[in-house]
Amino acid sequence: MIATAPQAPATTPTATTAGNAWHAICALDDIWPDTGVCALVGRRQVAVFRLADGSLYAIDNHDPNSGANVLSRGIVGDLGGEPVVASPIYKHHYQLRTGTCLENPDTPLRTYPVELRDGTLWVQA
């Protein structure tokens, strides 16, 4: 399966909640289960993932171990019951819930709250 990102970067509607803006990313159906897409949220690239069980996650798209913005194209899976994405460069595993790199815990990623509203994914950043 190949997921395709929306044509335009997701810099469209925002709503502010408690000092943090919520950004509309794309329709849920734009992300195939067990894949991710990259969205431009402000000036930051965010990797948004949809798992087959319906759970949604958002982490930084930047892989600090390779220096590349590639995590949205990583392989989604689970290690010991924990949902992870494997970087397509060096295959480091990042926990989707916490952003922790299993092979190098000193390089955690930022995670973002994700909500589904009327079929649209929103990320708070």
Domain boundaries, the chain: 33-124
CB-based contacts of 6-13 (< 8 A; 24+ apart in sequence): 6/30, 6/37, 6/39, 9/39, 9/40, 10/39, 10/40, 10/41, 11/40, 11/41, 11/42
Architecture of 33-124 per CATH? 3-layer Sandwich (2.102)
**Mean pLDDT value of segment 5-31:** 66
Q: Are 125 and 25 in contact, with CB atoms under 8 Å apart?
A: no
Q: What is the mean pLDDT of the chain?
A: 88
Question: Which of the two residues, 91 and 10, has the higher pLDDT score?
Answer: 91
Whole-model pTM: value is 0.85
Report pLDDT for 119: 98
The pLDDT value given to residue 20: 86
